[in-house]
Structure 1
Amino acid sequence: MSLLIVENVSHGFGGRTILEDASFRLLKGEHVGLIGANGEGKSTFLNIIIGNIQPDEGKVEWSKNVTVGYLDQHSSLKSGMTIRDVLREAFKNMFELEKKMLSMYDQMADENADVDALMEEAGEIQQILDHSGFYTIDAKINEIAGGLGLASIGLDKDVSELSGGQRTKVLLTKLLLEDPSILLLDEPTNYLDFEHIEWLKRYLQEYENAFILISHDVEFLNSVVNVIYHVNNGELTRYTGDYDNFLHMHEIKQKQQERAYERQQAEIERMEDFIARNKARVATRGMANSRQKMLDRIEVIEKPREKPKPSFQFREARTPSRYLVQTKDLILGYSEPLTKPLNFEIERGMKLAITGTNGLGKTTLLKTILGKIKALGGTAELGDYLAPGYFEQEAGRDSEITALDYIWSKFPSYTNGEVRAALAKCGLTTEHITSQMRVLSGGENAKVRLCELMQKEANWLILDEPTNHLDVEAKEELKKALMEYKGSILLVCHEPLFYEDWVTDVWNVEDWTLKIV
């Protein structure tokens, strides 16, 4: 049974073709991984199928009575609401039914009321509420909120006080509580820590309905999907199986296409040579014309297009002092303390990963060390000759300047060609370079900011979730660059596979926190 049929959809943006004659079919129970390089149109495709974007051509058709839940990368929450308020919105219809039922009981006190009719309708509503599990809502909320780590934050916390990762957890929890017949998940693991990624993995493995998942986390994809749709050069191609099977089948397909292209080009070359040698001679002109007609009718196989591959390399500044930072009774936090007093030292040469549940102070630690926010207590003394390079999480997302102008504003002495070459080295095309930062995908935006970091000399890289949104190839190149970097590194990351084989130390903020984890 087809839950969703997409036929011959084409869509472009700002002169750039994103999808071209793309077709897609979602069957009942399918767990689909939607994959592709940064900027290929994965999020655009999701926005088209839910109706947020109208395609230039083609049609999207959902089956009747399908309910769709969409987790957007950039959803927002209203200030003034608690986490519990937001989660209870998942049962909004049930609360409205309860309100209607209670109103009917009030109406029965009226002497002119049709008590029998009111009793009958109220009884029907009561049955719906009982059947839907309305009276176990709080238990459901506590179960899923606990699985995704919200219980440790406190369900009465105002959503305006949450970190980016905590907001994502709230939105994801609400979506799972709504229990739609189809889930659309756009990079749900980006802000989840390892423990809660594992919980979501188990949930999706047992999920009976269909879902479409965008993710660059190979291990996560392999564990939860049974179908892959690959977005490449505007086309959507279906592969049965997990991500590893896709890689195998895609490689075979690429080699077949390359061989077919080469054979056809050789045949075209032979025909063109025959035509050129024979069209001037009266005796062979007919054969030459016949070959020309055959040549004109050939459907030319397109040469497989290679995506520009990113290449990262960080410049090293002079050697700093032995200690990069030394703290004395340092207390992290904003309006209230997040940690107990901290006493630690980070030495030259350390490649340090900071891990732990979201909202416990990982980003706060980086910003406090760099002096971007004040500590609530104690001191953090920086060493001599430090040249830090900072990659800030989700910076520059709403900028209206182009990627080219963004880099140029940071390095005004560069020529136009030098800026373009620097961005191209990070895997960005001319279309990306001349696009506004706000219309770039999350991965393209991250590549622009990594480009900025690569232009500076630094002896200490401070990186806050640099792998978020990056496609598989870009993550591999970034990992390679960090392994080769001779300076020190302070990294916040939720992907152990990215860092565990090259960092020298791992610190878990859960060892410092004042909160119950």
Structure 2
Amino acid sequence: MSVLTVKNVTHGFGARSILEDVSFRLLKGEHVALVGANGEGKSTFLNIINGKLMPDEGTVEWSNRVTVGYLDQHSVLKPETTIMDNLRLAFNHLIELEKEMFTLYENMADADDMDKLLEDAAEIQSILDSSGFYIIDSKIQTIAQGLGLGDLGLDTMVDELSGGQRTKILLAKLLLQNPTILILDEPTNYLDVEHIEWLTNYLKEYENAFILVSHDIPFINNVCNLIYHIKDCELTRYVGNYEDFERLYEQKQRQLEKDYERQQKEINRMEDFIARNKARVATRGMANSRAKRLEKMDKIEKPREKAKPVFNFKEGKTPSRVLIEATDLVIGYDSPLTKPISFTIEKGKKIAICGVNGLGKSTLLKTILGIIPSVEGTIRFGENVEIGYFEQEDHKDNTNTALDEVWNEYPALTNHEVRSELAKCALTSENIMSQMRVLSGGENAKVRLCKLLLKRLNLLVLDEPTNHLDVDAKAELEKAIREFNGTVIIVSHEPYFYQSFVTDVFNVEDWTTKIV
């Protein structure tokens, strides 16, 4: 049974085409991953099927009474509400359905078409049963505990929570709704390892259909059985997980290259024959015939890969042996997040800071860098420390173009030099002239990485740098950090990303004053 049908959808922004004549069909129970490089149109496609964007051409058709749950990269919570307030909102549509069912029963006394009313009421009752409407409290506790919200206290105000904790609430609310189709845009970005594992197990057993956008390959491999690949405005279907897709895509590309080369040889032979025989009376007819065949030939385009990013961090002066020394440091905002901690960070160390969300990983980075003050204790820097800092997210209202964003920081560079550096990060001419706020998450991250790559530094501080980055950019960033001879402090929810270069791990769970 098809729950969603997309027919011949075309969409673009200005002169830029995003999707061309794309068709897509989602069946009940299918677990789909939508993959592709940054900026290819994954989030645009999700917004079209969810009704947030109207396509330039084509149609989007949902089956009757389908419910859609959508978690995107910019979902927000209503201020001055508790965690429980938000989780209970998940059942509003079911409460309305129950009211509709009671109205149907009331109308049966005077109805001419009793069978139709009974059929509608039975359908609603089935939806209520399958959605767990009659065990709401139990479901809230199960989902909240699975995503680590139970330990925070469900009466906690959402204003007090970190970005990662807010994402967990939005995700929990969505899972409680148990929609016919679940649409998830980068759901693991702000989840820690433990809760990614819980979500993985949940989605593996999920009976309904879902469409997932993620650059977390192990996660896709575990939960998806269909891959749709967006590239060059086209959408191509592959059966299996991401590993199956990679293998099949590589086979397809090799076959396409062979077909292209074979056709080019045939074209060259025909053009040679035409050139040699069109002037001769005896063979002119054959030459004209081949010219017509050549004109009608369905030409195979040469396979071309998108430009891949090249990252190389520039190393600054040699610093002292100890770059950072923390003594009896307590971090927090209105109240302490940790007990007093002391540590040193030496030259050449590559340190991963891990632990569940909400315990102060980003706060620790900002305290070390002096962006926010410590509650207690001191931070002392060594000599010649040159810092490069990658913040987890850009400002949402950043109206600078990508070109200006880099040029403002490095005004001595020429226009050509700035464009060249952005191009090395796999950004197109169109990306370069676009405002930061309208770029995709991955494109925005690449611009901010570009600024770091131009700076001479010996201490690299990275807060969730892989969020939104596509597979190629992640692999290149991992290589660049591994080859960087300076010191690195990284916060990341992806151990498989940093395990090849990390020398030490700081677990904030060992320092926290909170219950973990």
Interval of TM-score (by shorter of Structure 1 and Structure 2): over 0.9
- Is 1:165 the equivalent of 2:164? yes
SS in 2 for 1:25: strand
Distance 2:370 2:468 in 1: 27
Change (3 A) 1:81 1:38: same
Q: Residue 112 of structure 1 aligns with which residue?
A: none
Q: Residue 138 of structure 1 aligns with which residue?
A: 137
Change (3 A) 1:260 1:325: same
How far is 1:153 from its partner?
Answer: 2.1
Q: Residue 244 of structure 2 aligns with which residue?
A: 245
Distance 2:303 2:12 in 1: 21
Distance 2:376 2:384 in 1: 25
Tell me which moved more, 156-165 or 363-372: 156-165
How far is 1:135 from its partner?
Answer: 5.7
Q: Residue 326 of structure 1 aligns with which residue?
A: 325
CA RMSD between the two structures: 2.0
Per-residue deviation, residues 293-342 of structure 1 (Å, max 9, x unmatched): 11110111111121000111000011111211111211110111111111
Change (3 A) 1:496 1:29: same
Per-residue deviation, residues 211-261 of structure 1 (Å, max 9, x unmatched): 111111111111111111001111100000111111110000001111111
Distance 1:22 1:99 in 2: 39
SS in 1 for 2:218: helix
Q: Residue 451 of structure 2 aligns with which residue?
A: 452
Q: Residue 404 of structure 1 aligns with which residue?
A: 403
Residue 406 of structure 2 aligns with an amino acid whose one-letter code is: I
Contact 2:482 2:500 (C-alpha < 8 Å) held by counterparts:
no
Change (3 A) 1:159 1:99: farther
How far is 1:3 from its partner?
Answer: 1.1
Residue 198 of structure 2 aligns with an amino acid whose one-letter code is: W
Q: Residue 104 of structure 2 aligns with which residue?
A: none
Per-residue deviation, residues 474-512 of structure 1 (Å, max 9, x unmatched): 111100010000000000000010111220001111111
Residue 2 of structure 1 aligns with an amino acid whose one-letter code is: S
Tell me which moved more, 68-77 or 427-436: 427-436
Distance 1:96 1:45 in 2: 29
Tell me which moved more, 430-439 or 186-195: 430-439
How far is 1:83 from its partner?
Answer: 1.0
Q: Residue 182 of structure 1 aligns with which residue?
A: 181
Distance 2:269 2:99 in 1: 80
How far is 1:129 from its partner?
Answer: 12
Distance 2:276 2:400 in 1: 56
Change (3 A) 1:197 1:230: same
- Is 1:466 the equivalent of 2:491? no
Runs of 4+ in 1 over 6 A off after TM superposition: 96-101, 127-130
Change (3 A) 1:376 1:60: same
What is the correspondence of 1:277-356 to structure 2 with a 5 Å cutoff? 277-356=276-355
Q: Residue 18 of structure 2 aligns with which residue?
A: 18
Contact 2:144 2:172 (C-alpha < 8 Å) held by counterparts:
yes
Structure 2 residues without counterparts, runs of 5 or longer: 102-120
SS in 2 for 1:344: strand
- Is 1:361 the equivalent of 2:364? no
Per-residue deviation, residues 390-417 of structure 1 (Å, max 9, x unmatched): 0001124432221111111111111111
- Is 1:482 the equivalent of 2:481? yes
Contact 1:227 1:240 (C-alpha < 8 Å) held by counterparts:
yes
How far is 1:384 from its partner?
Answer: 1.4
Per-residue deviation, residues 35-86 of structure 1 (Å, max 9, x unmatched): 0111110110010001110111111111111111011111111111111111
What is the correspondence of 1:119-134 to structure 2 with a 5 Å cutoff? 134=133
SS in 2 for 1:3: strand
How far is 1:93 from its partner?
Answer: 4.1
Distance 1:15 1:97 in 2: 44
Identical-residue share of aligned pairs (%): 66
Q: Residue 75 of structure 2 aligns with which residue?
A: 75
What is the correspondence of 1:381-400 to structure 2 with a 5 Å cutoff? 381-400=380-399
Distance 1:217 1:49 in 2: 23
How far is 1:280 from its partner?
Answer: 2.1
Structure 1 residues without counterparts, runs of 5 or longer: 102-123
How far is 1:205 from its partner?
Answer: 0.5
Contact 2:82 2:156 (C-alpha < 8 Å) held by counterparts:
yes
Distance 1:299 1:28 in 2: 37
Q: Residue 226 of structure 2 aligns with which residue?
A: 227
Q: Residue 505 of structure 1 aligns with which residue?
A: 504
Distance 2:495 2:453 in 1: 24
Q: Residue 380 of structure 1 aligns with which residue?
A: 379
Q: Residue 114 of structure 2 aligns with which residue?
A: none
- Is 1:87 the equivalent of 2:87? yes
SS in 1 for 2:151: coil
Contact 1:325 1:347 (C-alpha < 8 Å) held by counterparts:
yes
SS in 1 for 2:422: helix
Change (3 A) 1:211 1:96: closer
How far is 1:97 from its partner?
Answer: 8.2
Tell me which moved more, 478-487 or 289-298: 289-298
Contact 1:129 1:135 (C-alpha < 8 Å) held by counterparts:
no
Residue 266 of structure 2 aligns with an amino acid whose one-letter code is: E
Residue 159 of structure 1 aligns with an amino acid whose one-letter code is: V
Contact 1:391 1:450 (C-alpha < 8 Å) held by counterparts:
yes
Distance 1:196 1:50 in 2: 26
SS in 1 for 2:304: coil
- Is 1:66 the equivalent of 2:66? yes
Q: May I ask how many residue pairs the two structures share in their alignment?
A: 495
Contact 1:221 1:243 (C-alpha < 8 Å) held by counterparts:
yes
Residue 36 of structure 2 aligns with an amino acid whose one-letter code is: G
Change (3 A) 1:483 1:129: closer
Q: Residue 6 of structure 2 aligns with which residue?
A: 6
Q: Residue 55 of structure 2 aligns with which residue?
A: 55
Residue 62 of structure 1 aligns with an amino acid whose one-letter code is: W
How far is 1:371 from its partner?
Answer: 0.5
What is the correspondence of 1:425-440 to structure 2 with a 5 Å cutoff? 425-440=424-439
Q: Residue 105 of structure 1 aligns with which residue?
A: none
Distance 1:201 1:504 in 2: 28
For normalisation by structure 2, the TM-score amounts to 0.93
Per-residue deviation, residues 326-370 of structure 1 (Å, max 9, x unmatched): 112111101111111111111111100000111110000000011
How far is 1:376 from its partner?
Answer: 1.0
Change (3 A) 1:333 1:38: same
How far is 1:432 from its partner?
Answer: 1.4
Contact 2:31 2:225 (C-alpha < 8 Å) held by counterparts:
yes
How far is 1:133 from its partner?
Answer: 5.1
Q: Residue 27 of structure 2 aligns with which residue?
A: 27
How far is 1:128 from its partner?
Answer: 9.8
SS in 2 for 1:17: strand
- Is 1:41 the equivalent of 2:2? no
Distance 2:100 2:219 in 1: 43
